[in-house]
Amino acid sequence: MSPLTELPDDIARDLREFTIEVPSWAYGNSGTRFKVFGTPGTPRDPFEKIADAAQTHAMTGSSPRVSLHHPWDRVEDTAALRSYAEDLGVQLGMINSNTFQDDEYKYGSLTHSDPAVRRRAIDHHLECLAVMREAGSHELKIWLADGTNYAGQDSIRARQDHLANSLAEIYAGLQEGERIVLEYKFFEPAFYHTDVPDWGTSLLHCLALGEQAMVVLDTGHHAPGTNIEFIVAQLLRQGRLGAFDFNSRNYADDDLIVGAADPFQLFRILFEIVQQDAHRPASGVNFMLDQCHNLESKIQGQIRSVLNVQETLAKALLVDREALADAQARYDVLEANAILMDAFWTDVRPALAAFREEQGLPADPFGAFRASGYEEKVAAERVGGNQMGWGA
Amino acid sequence: MSPLTELPDDIARDLREFTIEVPSWAYGNSGTRFKVFGTPGTPRDPFEKIADAAQTHAMTGSSPRVSLHHPWDRVEDTAALRSYAEDLGVQLGMINSNTFQDDEYKYGSLTHSDPAVRRRAIDHHLECLAVMREAGSHELKIWLADGTNYAGQDSIRARQDHLANSLAEIYAGLQEGERIVLEYKFFEPAFYHTDVPDWGTSLLHCLALGEQAMVVLDTGHHAPGTNIEFIVAQLLRQGRLGAFDFNSRNYADDDLIVGAADPFQLFRILFEIVQQDAHRPASGVNFMLDQCHNLESKIQGQIRSVLNVQETLAKALLVDREALADAQARYDVLEANAILMDAFWTDVRPALAAFREEQGLPADPFGAFRASGYEEKVAAERVGGNQMGWGA
Amino acid sequence: MSPLTELPDDIARDLREFTIEVPSWAYGNSGTRFKVFGTPGTPRDPFEKIADAAQTHAMTGSSPRVSLHHPWDRVEDTAALRSYAEDLGVQLGMINSNTFQDDEYKYGSLTHSDPAVRRRAIDHHLECLAVMREAGSHELKIWLADGTNYAGQDSIRARQDHLANSLAEIYAGLQEGERIVLEYKFFEPAFYHTDVPDWGTSLLHCLALGEQAMVVLDTGHHAPGTNIEFIVAQLLRQGRLGAFDFNSRNYADDDLIVGAADPFQLFRILFEIVQQDAHRPASGVNFMLDQCHNLESKIQGQIRSVLNVQETLAKALLVDREALADAQARYDVLEANAILMDAFWTDVRPALAAFREEQGLPADPFGAFRASGYEEKVAAERVGGNQMGWGA
Amino acid sequence: MSPLTELPDDIARDLREFTIEVPSWAYGNSGTRFKVFGTPGTPRDPFEKIADAAQTHAMTGSSPRVSLHHPWDRVEDTAALRSYAEDLGVQLGMINSNTFQDDEYKYGSLTHSDPAVRRRAIDHHLECLAVMREAGSHELKIWLADGTNYAGQDSIRARQDHLANSLAEIYAGLQEGERIVLEYKFFEPAFYHTDVPDWGTSLLHCLALGEQAMVVLDTGHHAPGTNIEFIVAQLLRQGRLGAFDFNSRNYADDDLIVGAADPFQLFRILFEIVQQDAHRPASGVNFMLDQCHNLESKIQGQIRSVLNVQETLAKALLVDREALADAQARYDVLEANAILMDAFWTDVRPALAAFREEQGLPADPFGAFRASGYEEKVAAERVGGNQMGWGA
């Protein structure tokens, strides 16, 4: 309970190695079905998104990769985008496919009953694999908007079979060292059933595909009350936790800043992670953000999310696991819980500030970015053109 | 349990008098934050919406009013729109205000901390009252997107005070015989708190305003598991149930066809209504639809919703209330429930078909509309121009 | 839409073959943590429970098996109980184990960190297998109350490993033709995490065990909003749906009468079943009830639940699947949904009454039982002794 | 962000004045419908409960009152119990009525359709008022288990009317300076509808009764996702927040240790409180605990809950409200949120330890109690007799 002013060496090492991948689309406009609010300085092309994402990394030192969304981030020359990113100190990361914005996909994509639509959707994913290679990445993320709005609209079972076949064709396109990660989502935009609603469904498909298929856990994609850390433990136990999409939610898929709605949940999730050493690079788990900024400053929002993950990871690493195991072995419920909470309530911010300064980073990345003048600069420069958002 | 081939006289009378108001916006395009799918023949101006809404009434005989949304349905000459509607056999109904699509309202409207923004929002509502009078209507519906996304973003309490003051200014603009109805919503587009999240809040504001302020109950705006019929009973007991926005939901505010997700819930709600004779015109409750058609045919969807309300109301009216009261008085739980279910399971469709034919309406309004060729006709005619949707 | 007065032959055949297993404990007292209300005539030993269960079958002709709960239904001579049941026209069914009422299981049973407690729990299950054989049954149902109330209380991961090992020992005790079914539950009595919270976890353990392990789906054991028919489809696709525990819920594991809370959900579940012919005996799915009667008459409640399943199954079988497939193939969302609803709204009660009479059963089993005087008779006879409930 | 080693004077003053009332029943056995686990040393009469509760106060200095439950805590001589408490340094607090454990209340109490049952229930409450006076208390808490399990079981509306009349009779029994507080609960033990399900219903009854009727907010009694701090703000705005029942929940009314499930929620609730100075004695809000200990040590659990409330209150008081108001006024969403979080993440434990020592209390009340030997002592002494629990 004494103030933590310096990180223990092993925790410092883990935090130096730990990275968070940021989503390109978080730097563009986003919103709700009611309204998308634009803001001055919003990127007008993928290069500007990368520039903004590089700011997040420059401040935090922890977010060296940027996920791309295809086709939102399609450029004529992916290699040029890659060089541009590398010049700014970041790398291109996971490729996200998109089968939810074409009219053809109104009733499904990989699950559609029409073979021609499935073909189109499969080909899109194969194209994504090509982009992935050009980007120097090795992961393709598949999230499907597929589902139905009304009972009877389509056959739940037949769609599962179509999905399995479509995924198999995509999987066959993988090369060694590459992988696909399959995301699940409880609802939205489908309101009666979704074709991959839960971790069980995602995992079953991955198991059928092979070892290069893994599950993505988006923290906002569960039914109310779901114990997410249990799912983390279960997927790690199966060796199939491929990636996180971190964000937070109070109601639905609210896509709020990570840790904003329930910081203790984030802590419990990360504690499940560190208990299996899954935070370390060797685990192969890709820790990504997936959030939308409706009201708040975009780059600041990303920095806040990165910091929240980093600080919470530090707390999770601080848990006295030996003492915890001992209390658990004695069935001392309150003591065991208290050991966990002791780490949660420890204020890691001073030690993290020192840790950052040692690495030549701002002690307070959030404040440093606000003071940097970057936002004012791009707001002045980025005049004209179309601000990027979902779909552009 | 014998098949019902003819409606009892009193039920037939009630159904003849019972009307459902349809929303103009249901005839335009709508969707999710991911995609809005357009369809051929979608109206390009409010007149075309009215024409489509008139089809719903022509087929069902039960939906003689059309709610307007201001400014989506703003026309130069509201009187002309009104005549056009009347020529097609329908009337203009409730006016819906809109303070969620202007950049000024990013952080709130009637609840905003900036008096200038509140002024603007109040003036918008006063303008709506003017439109209302031109439309020959006497009701203004207020649904607010106001709320916050993050704890600390704003003062919950101060916003309540602003809301009370703003509403008082609007209320002061009412003339005799006019009223405002205030809608509540659990979440969306705000994801941390909404300023009118529940019936209690809406009712408190109405009580503070006066007798011309009533609560609107949108069936999709509650927390998971909420017993909506209880709220109906409570609002009727307070004499403050002004209107329904009927739709259905499985998860959030899914805005699906009425009765599609849980037809038994619709029955329970309407049974609460008929127990207080609130389905009869004298009650002053306005039964409206509020739904979005993402995937299905729009006019057909409205017809289906109207029919679902009508059929379910017939079932609710069929409950043997004397027998029910008797079973309740004997604490015969299973018998009481069985009496309710007996009405629910009665197939009222043949009797309703006969009832419609007696009134010169199609026995099967849904089939009749599909066979009418109207959809093909407008798809051919309505070429060019911009299809209307949310925001246009 | 014409009234259905007679069941089509194939549906009549299916209903004749379709059976529902009733739980012995539904005939004893049950309640909430606040109060258990006793009623006159409640069984005082397993024989009296069987006698009451036989009444359910005598009235409905559809519930020829009775699930036993060990040790609640422990008797000195299981063979005698079996003969008694057979004399009354019913059979002993699935055995339910119990590891939630001994002080040793306070912190878990099959998942406990203490090998001695796990040993005890495993041995209990092996004993259940012995009882199962004496009862002439071949199925053992495992529902675990195991879980924790506080984060940190125990290791989620270690408990999964213990569970896998414990189950393997039990599984090793199975003979050919026997099987275990593993139930999952979202929460209660554990309030932070449960060790088998969802179908995915249950299925993973079953897959690891082998083909004689199947999943049990209790309709009340899911998070709010869960699409249960999707899970049914998924488990059937995996060939691992072993059994249902039917009941209904509005909030938690309310254990209400089947179909009482959401009859349309029951219909959708059963339609998923009939689409795979899983309602037929060859499927091996055991359709069981699991409910508690807090307020209502117990035998009447069971009869009502059996009838609700039977009537809803008839509706599901009435769906015009050819027309449905055709509408689905045309992406005619509203028509597809309407075809489903047409079956749902068909009043099958007259046809079922005729169907029952053909088999020499009461046309109205619920009314017939009430009129039979059985309840009055046992209330008069069963005086003295201890009424059975949970735990006795 | 510098470590807080000493509490600012005004915060220290507020914490010195702030008190938490503990429930007598938390010191007895409790559990779920599946099992109640007893523990050595559990009180066997109300005096022993008081003795245990006094330990909580002795360690924390913050819990000088003990709520009683009538009739669980009925003693022949309430005055003797009161003296006993006062000798141990605590006072008797709120009286909790009980109308959920008698057979007569199976179908309701204050809402029952039978006037004789209502009479009985009203008289019970009048008796509670008498006990209250003997106990030197001035508050009566009413929580009703009333509700129904099935649609149609009873008239929702009629029950509201009965409730209003019954409450009016009880209210008429109040003397000056006394009050009743009316609790609401979303569900359980009723599973279809409860008669006081939400704050709106409770408030309406209180408004109808008069100024001596207030609402109790139990933090575990809401639908999933409910924003509780909004309700706090709303009830304070109406001047009708009478008391809290603090506990925490993940799923239903789990009755876990305060702050265990979602410590950030507790912080937000308390921040809403301190913004209106409602934590200060003059507000009249009674901050009580209401939790059940199924697995953990009872006195330790109460101490932990008291400490969690106290620590979280300190954090809420640390919020820089001037800076917050300034950030809000600039619509700086992220800065406003950051100001709130800064207080949340501040480790107040060292300063609170110092604060306690200044008052002659143990720096670590939890550890001090564990080390005190009290539990071992009472376990050795309290042999024989019946341990108290719910109902005894």
Backbone phi, psi, residue A158, to 5°: -60, -35
pLDDT at A390: 87
Confidence label for C273 from pLDDT (cuts 50, 70 and 90): very high
What is d(CA D326, CA D321) in angstroms, rounded to the nearest whole number? 8
Q: What angle do CA B101, B102, B106 make, to 5 degrees?
A: 90
Helix (H, G, I), strand (E, B) or coil at C105: helix
Residues of chain B with pLDDT under 70: 1-2, 392
Parallel/antiparallel/unpaired status of strands C179-183 and C139-142: parallel
Parallel/antiparallel/unpaired status of strands C193-194 and C147-148: antiparallel
For an interface test with D, the pick among C295, C304, C387 (most D C-beta atoms closer than 10 Å) comes out as C295
State which amino acid sits at residue D188: E
The 10s digit of each residue's pLDDT in C277-294 is 999 999 999 999 999 889
Backbone phi, psi, residue A235, to 5°: -70, -35
State which amino acid sits at residue A35: K
pLDDT at C3: 74
Taking CA–CA distances from B199, the nearest residue in chain D reads D200
Average pLDDT of chain D, as a whole number: 97
What is d(CA B25, CA B255) in angstroms, rounded to the nearest whole number? 12
Query: What DSSP designation does A174 have?
Result: P
**Which structure tokens are listed for C141?**
């149902």
- Burial zone of B112 (CB within 10 Å; 0-12 exposed, 13-18 middle, 19+ buried): buried
The residue assigned the tokens 């015009």 is C320
The 10s digit of each residue's pLDDT in D334-362 is 999 999 999 999 999 999 999 999 999 99
Average pLDDT of chain C, as a whole number: 97
Backbone phi, psi, residue C185, to 5°: -155, 135
How many other C-beta atoms can be found within 10 angstroms of the C-beta atom of residue A262?
19
Whether B173 and B184 have beta carbons less than 8 Å apart is answered as: no
Taking CA–CA distances from B347, the nearest residue in chain C reads C347
For an interface test with A, the pick among C182, C195, C230 (most A C-beta atoms closer than 10 Å) comes out as C230
Parallel/antiparallel/unpaired status of strands C139-142 and C91-96: parallel
pLDDT at C2: 63
Chain B hits for C310, CB-CB cut-off 8 Å, are none
How many other C-beta atoms can be found within 10 angstroms of the C-beta atom of residue A158?
15
State which amino acid sits at residue A19: T
Q: Which residues pair with A181 in a beta bridge?
A: A141, A214
Taking CA–CA distances from A265, the nearest residue in chain D reads D262
What is d(CA B305, CA B245) in angstroms, rounded to the nearest whole number? 12
What is d(CA A70, CA A74) in angstroms, rounded to the nearest whole number? 6
What is d(CA C335, CA D287) in angstroms, rounded to the nearest whole number? 57
pLDDT at D315: 98
The stretch D194-205 carries a mean pLDDT of 98
Parallel/antiparallel/unpaired status of strands D65-69 and D139-142: unpaired
- CA separation, residue A305 to residues A335, B259, D79 (Å): 31, 40, 58
Task: Please tell me which of the candidates B197, B237, B268 has its beta carbon nearest to residue D160.
Answer: B237
| C265/chain B closest Cα distance in angstroms | 8
The residue assigned the tokens 């639905």 is A252
The 10s digit of each residue's pLDDT in D54-113 is 999 999 999 999 999 999 999 999 999 999 999 999 999 999 999 999 999 999 999 999
pLDDT at A392: 53
State which amino acid sits at residue A58: A
Chain D hits for C98, CB-CB cut-off 8 Å, are none
The percent helix, strand, coil of chain A (3-state, each to 5) is 45, 10, 40
Tell which residue, C159, C230, C161, has the closest CA to residue C199: C230
- Burial zone of C44 (CB within 10 Å; 0-12 exposed, 13-18 middle, 19+ buried): middle
Task: Please tell me which of the candidates B145, B191, B257 has its beta carbon nearest to residue A256.
Answer: B191
Q: Which residues pair with B148 in a beta bridge?
A: B193
Taking CA–CA distances from C301, the nearest residue in chain D reads D150
The 10s digit of each residue's pLDDT in C328-379 is 999 999 999 999 999 999 999 999 999 999 999 999 999 999 999 999 999 9
Chain B hits for C263, CB-CB cut-off 8 Å, are 264, 344
pLDDT at B3: 73
Q: Which residues pair with D137 in a beta bridge?
A: none
- Counted across chains A and D, CB pairs separated by less than 8 A come out at 69
pLDDT at B392: 53
Say if residue C391's pLDDT is above 80: no
Residues of chain A with pLDDT under 70: 1-2, 392
Confidence label for D390 from pLDDT (cuts 50, 70 and 90): confident
DSSP H or E run through C140: strand C139-142
| C353/chain D closest Cα distance in angstroms | 24
What is d(CA B126, CA B144) in angstroms, rounded to the nearest whole number? 15
Task: Please tell me which of the candidates C263, C301, C347 has its beta carbon nearest to residue B3.
Answer: C347
State which amino acid sits at residue D12: A
What is d(CA C16, CA C11) in angstroms, rounded to the nearest whole number? 9
The 10s digit of each residue's pLDDT in C208-240 is 999 999 999 999 999 999 999 999 999 999 999
**What separation, in Å, do the N-terminal and C-terminal C-alpha atoms of chain A show?**
50
Exposure on the CB side of residue D185, measured as CA atoms within 13 A: 22
Say if residue C95's pLDDT is above 60: yes
The percent helix, strand, coil of chain D (3-state, each to 5) is 45, 10, 40
Q: Do D1 and A350 touch (CB under 8 A)?
A: yes
Taking CA–CA distances from C150, the nearest residue in chain A reads A337
Exposure on the CB side of residue A205, measured as CA atoms within 13 A: 33
Nearby residues of B30 by Cβ (< 8 Å), 6 or more positions away: A33, B36, B255, B292, B293, B294, B389, B390
What is d(CA A297, CA C312) in angstroms, rounded to the nearest whole number? 53
How many other C-beta atoms can be found within 10 angstroms of the C-beta atom of residue B353?
17
How many other C-beta atoms can be found within 10 angstroms of the C-beta atom of residue D157?
17
Model-level pTM?
Answer: 0.98
**Which structure tokens are listed for D367?**
């550890």
Interface of D with A (CB under 8 A): 1-3, 224-225, 227, 250-251, 257, 260, 262-265, 295-297, 300-301, 304, 311, 333-334, 337-338, 344-347, 349-350, 353, 366
What is d(CA C190, CA C176) in angstroms, rounded to the nearest whole number? 34
- CA separation, residue D164 to residues D113, D168, D202 (Å): 13, 6, 10
**Domains of chain C, start order:** 18-313 (3.20.20.150)
**Which structure tokens are listed for A21?**
């991948």
